[in-house]
Amino acid sequence: MGPASLQGQTLGKYRILDPLGRGGMAQVYRAYHPQLDRYVAVKVLRSDLVEEEEFLARFHREARAVARLRHANIVQVYDFDVQDGIYYMVMELLEGDTLKARLGDYHVRGEQMPTGEMVRILLDVLDGLAYAHSEGMIHRDIKPANIMLTKSGQAVVTDFGIAQMVGGTRHTAAGMLMGTLNYIAPEQGLESKSDARSDIYSVGIVLYEMLLGKPPFDADTPLAILMKHLNDPLPLPCQVDPAIPEPLERIVLKALAKQPEERYQGAAEMAQSLRQAAEETQIALPEKISLPLSFTTTDAPGEAVAVISGTARDRVTDHGFAKDDTDTSLGQRLADAGPTGASPQSAAVKAATEMLRPVAAAVSRLAEGVQAEARTPTEKAVAERLTSKRGVGMAILGTVSLLIGGNLLAVMLGILTNDWSIFGRGWPMEILWVGVGLCAILYASRVPWLMIPISLVLGNGFLFAYSSLTTWWIHWTVLWMLEPFFLIGSIVVARHLAQRGEEGRETARQLGWTLGRLGLLVSLVVMVLGLLF
């Protein structure tokens, strides 16, 4: 276990001077090598992440691979070692700021990074990734905090190998999944499978954030973010900001395809598309990235901070900068979010996740009010009205009111007629009213997958109404066989409607209206017949 701070101590040949920052996986210090008369950055891995038996071998294997990388757009690793249980890596000390800090500066100023600057940064990043991928190294944690913009005008990718080093080949014994969910590829979040195309997806998220000021998918919990990556349609850049050049939007759409085979298959391919987009839109590409804003601010020309790797931090007291730290407990948090606490790698959870993907997508779109399909103002207004939280809330309120009002009406009829058979034989109306409520929610949300519970509830309501009113319960020996047909038929219909897009959702809405009226009519018949007979 390493000490809380190594300031003033010596690690190997390096004299630790002062801390530069702390991130999700490591503490970074500025250090000095007396023999070489060179200042370096020393990244000390968190002691609680290196306690497993396999870590030492993995640390040396990954560190050696990273140290072999020699590219202008990848931070240079000079050395790595372990001393008294302290695992550390030594790398070049670069001066500048992270892309995260740069984007934050533009945001505070109410400005947007020039498009040419965006493309120049991403070309540098992709050049570094293309080289690393050719050497068999996948980054696994590309994000603005891991892209360094140096004072010399280059974008440098940092933290290569750290996620693999700490997280292992897939998961550690504790179920550890590494990454930052806002930027993680769907297959990486679901199964911890990573290849060059996973890094491409993360670069696509970075481009989206540079263009629009925020990542496309965000939520309050890790599981909710992951499900959005898996299922939600991408909020189209042109709908958020019509000024986004169409060629850049096409690059975003391709890079952020849900399926890896539909993305760019390599960093060089994406870089070529970026260059072509710049030519097509006549975007002037600077030869070098401009100096950090902190260097050019007249109020504080000397406040630039040396930033090393993605975990280095400006010396500030506001710790909000740590929001997108690599989550070293991501796997455990996702597991804890499940009902059984099982590992996200378990077959049962994976199977359930696959089955529930369409439902999760629909519910997530409903909750967040995403109307990605609405192109014209009229269509957008209709979509917002039909998929709003308020519409669903009113449907739920109407369902509760129907149950309460219907029961009060039945009680009043029972009192007036002094005949309580309305409850003795007409009780299936309660089930039918629940089905009517689900139909109202379907009408408001246009979520085709609601056809499944509607079919089961209304179907059983009709069967129970028939059996209760006729008292021919012996027919249940045959009627129960209809249950699988209700389920299978509703799944087939729901899937068909979901695949038909906007047309299918509108059809689902009409079905909700029709089935709701039918359910309400049958429930009234049941009430009357239950009272009369």
Rounded Cα–Cα distance for residues 282 and 237 (Å): 19
CA-to-CA distance for 29 and 14, rounded, in angstroms? 10
- Which among 100, 109, 199, 82 is positioned nearest to 155, based on CA atoms? 100
Using CA atoms, how far residue 483 sits from 115, 460, 488, in Å, is 58, 8, 9
Q: Tokens 């391919």 — which residue?
A: 269
Residues pairing with 41 in the sheet: 30, 91
- Token pair for 183: 């930027």
Phi, psi at 32, each rounded to 5°: -135, 135
Could you please report the per-residue DSSP string of 426-462?
Answer: HTHHHHHHHHHHHHHHHHHH--GGGHHHHHHHHHHHH
Token pair for 19: 């801390």
CA distance 441 to 392: 6
Q: How many CA atoms lie within 13 A of 442 on its CB side?
A: 31
Other C-beta atoms closer than 10 Å to the C-beta of 405 total 12
Cβ(158)–Cβ(310) under 8 Å? Answer: yes
Q: Which residue has the tokens 């629909």?
A: 362
DSSP for residue 170: S
Tokens of 240: 């958020």
Q: What is the three-class DSSP state of 252?
A: helix
Mark residue 447 as left, alpha or beta (left: phi above 0; alpha: psi -120 to 50; beta: remaining): beta
Pairing of strands 147-150, 96-98: antiparallel
Token pair 């004072």 in the structure block, residue: 151
Q: Is 325 a catalytic residue?
A: no
Choose, from 124, 141, 199, 314, the residue flagged as catalytic.
141
Please list, in sequence order, all residues whose beta carbon lies within 8 angstroms of the beta carbon of residue 291, skipping any fewer than 6 positions away: 151, 153
Q: For the chain, what is the radius of gyration of the CA atoms?
A: 29
Which residue bears the tokens 């909020």?
235
* Contact between residue 26 and residue 161 where contact means Cβ atoms under 8 Å apart: no
Active site positions, annotated: 141
